[in-house]
Amino acid sequence: MQTAFTRGAPQQAAPMTTPFLVAHDIAKAFGGAQALKGVSLDIAPGEIHGLVGANGAGKSTFIRILAGLNHPDAGRIEIDGQTREIATPQRATELGMSFIHQELAFVPGMTVLQNIMLGVPKKSRFGLTDWRAIARDVAPIARRVGISAPLNASVKGLSTAEIWLINICRALVRKARLIVMDEPTASLAASEAERLFAIVRDLSASGVAVLYISHRLDEVLNLCSRVSVFRDGRSVAELAGKGLNRPALVEAIVGGAIRDSQRTAATRPRGDVVMEASKLTRAPKVRGVSLKLHAGEVLGIGGLVGAGRTELARLLFGADRPDSGEMRLAGQPYQPASPAAAVRAGLGLIPEERRAEALFLSKSIAFNLSIANLDKLVHGRYLPLMNRRARTLMAGEMIRSLSIKARNASTPVGRLSGGNQQKVAIGRWLQRTPKVLILDEPTRGVDIGARAEIHRLIRQQADSGMAVLVISSEPDELPDLCDRVLVMAEGRIVRELTGQAVSRKAIVEASYVDPQALMEDHVA
């Protein structure tokens, strides 16, 4: 939920004595591609420093380097004026840094105190952990950050906001001098977010520096004294004082470096409306979404991570139930009670996390291709046993048609490259020829050659009359692939782009729309 702010006096920059952290010209490549081409920033003790940038700007890679999870190819990092090598996460902790990621670190089966002390050296007595003494030390810190649950209570059932407080408490127990917060309010309600902001300001007043990473620019403007902007793996701006405002941030994020190439996607003639959603809502991630998807169309859904795109796909596929709103499929009311019901109705979904949610990595290509088509591969209605010969023939045909690089259909999917794994996930649905195919981040983690092949397959299905919905956080991907693009922000569709208006620049600009200007209702 977007938070409403009461803006007071402008945030004052921290006194610029010796910075706690200085990063000089950090570069990092993965598989020949440059994730970071040269980023720099410095953070003073007690400063709340913002870090913003579009998806793929290099923020996550930079944080992983600070955390000791990746090692830079070039550049240097200074702590308290001395050059330091951060070889491991343990070394990052020793140097006074703590990291709170979107995927919060906690163990449901443990108590609040045990979770606070994860990875922290513990007092012992007679060779046993002295939890009573530890609780006495931790209790004042827990009260300071506002943890209301008893320290001996289980964390199971606690809210996301309370888990955030546990992670902050853990950082303070470790005596962190810099806490890095990645999208801290993405899953918080407005009141919970306001509570977090008060804690961040309290940390700053006590001398703890905070690196605050968020796509929500209003939060950044109200909390941060300075903001660094990354774009395409480079530091492109540092804004402070009167120069720190929403238009300047958006301009730096979008930037002159974005050059829109000539649009190459051919606009296909649209057929009838196959799927329709009206005011679809599931709080807090999807709020009043309306859209129409036509036969023979590739419709793109753009926007920032956390905008509600994946949650929308889950509603369409029956993985979640909406709080309100309506859906229609081929003109008929559509209310899938489960993904199985959605499949029977004619939908297919390739989820964002193919290894965790789409594929059985230890099973063969043939097994993975057939899992959604078992009704077509049995001996007959009265002998519902797998026809292995039919399955092998089907798998062999799909391997050839999709150019899947594998020794044979018996090869475990886990041995394939990312691109070939994705082809298997797509091939599973092509065997079934659904009315609507939803692809969430279809080319994530694949090389440029596999990306081009996957795009070809998507266009081929649309040319055959299938309705295709493509979700992508890469604004470069959608203009070349899609006939139309809907951009989501804060759980809503905020812009529809068609024809030559579909461009990377337009998608990024719409993704950072001012929350106050969000459309109350939009029928695409």
What is the SS3 assignment for 363-422? CEHHHHHHCCCHHHCEEECCEEEECHHHHHHHHHHHHHHCCCCCCCCCCEHHHCCHHHHH
Split at pLDDT 50, 70, 90, the class of 235 is very high
pLDDT in tens, 8-37: 344 454 445 689 999 999 999 976 667 899
Residue 190 has pLDDT above 80, yes or no: no
pLDDT in tens, 348-393: 999 888 777 888 889 988 888 887 776 676 666 666 676 777 778 8
- CATH homologous superfamily for 21-107+177-254? P-loop containing nucleotide triphosphate hydrolases (3.40.50.300)
pLDDT in tens, 97-122: 999 987 778 888 899 999 999 888 88
The more confidently predicted of residues 316 and 364 is 316
pLDDT in tens, 270-282: 789 999 999 999 9
Q: Which residues contact 460 (CB under 8 A, 6 or more apart)?
A: none
* Helix/strand/coil percentages in the chain, nearest 5: 35, 25, 40
Split at pLDDT 50, 70, 90, the class of 519 is very low
DSSP category for residue 158: -
Q: Provide the pLDDT for residue 3.
A: 41
pLDDT in tens, 416-455: 877 888 889 988 888 888 999 999 988 876 766 677 888 9
Q: Which residue has the tokens 């579909």?
A: 502
The more confidently predicted of residues 463 and 383 is 463
Residue 518 has pLDDT above 60, yes or no: no
Mean predicted confidence (pLDDT) in 318-338: 95
The more confidently predicted of residues 210 and 261 is 210
d(CA 341, CA 345): 6
Provide the terminal-to-terminal Cα distance of the chain, rounded to the nearest Å.
Answer: 23
Q: Which residue type occupies 436?
A: V
Q: Which CATH class is domain 258-346+434-524?
A: alpha beta
pTM, rounded to two decimals: 0.68
d(CA 251, CA 238): 12
Residue by residue, what is the 3-state secondary structure of 246-272?
HHHHHHHHHCCCCCCCCCCCCCCCCCC
Express as a percent the part of the chain with pLDDT over 90: 47
Phi, psi of 33 (to 5 degrees): -100, 135
DSSP category for residue 358: I
Split at pLDDT 50, 70, 90, the class of 79 is very high
Residue 144 has pLDDT above 60, yes or no: yes
Q: Which residues contact 467 (CB under 8 A, 6 or more apart)?
A: 274, 275, 293, 294, 295, 296, 297, 299, 435, 436, 437
Q: Provide the pLDDT for residue 377.
A: 66
Domain boundaries, the chain: 21-107+177-254, 258-346+434-524, 360-432
Q: Provide the pLDDT for residue 48.
A: 96
DSSP category for residue 515: G
Residue 42 has pLDDT above 90, yes or no: yes
Mean predicted confidence (pLDDT) in 140-161: 88
Q: Which of 81-95, 111-125, 269-283, 326-340 has the least mean pLDDT?
A: 111-125
Residue 125 has pLDDT above 90, yes or no: no
DSSP category for residue 440: E
Residue 261 has pLDDT above 50, yes or no: no
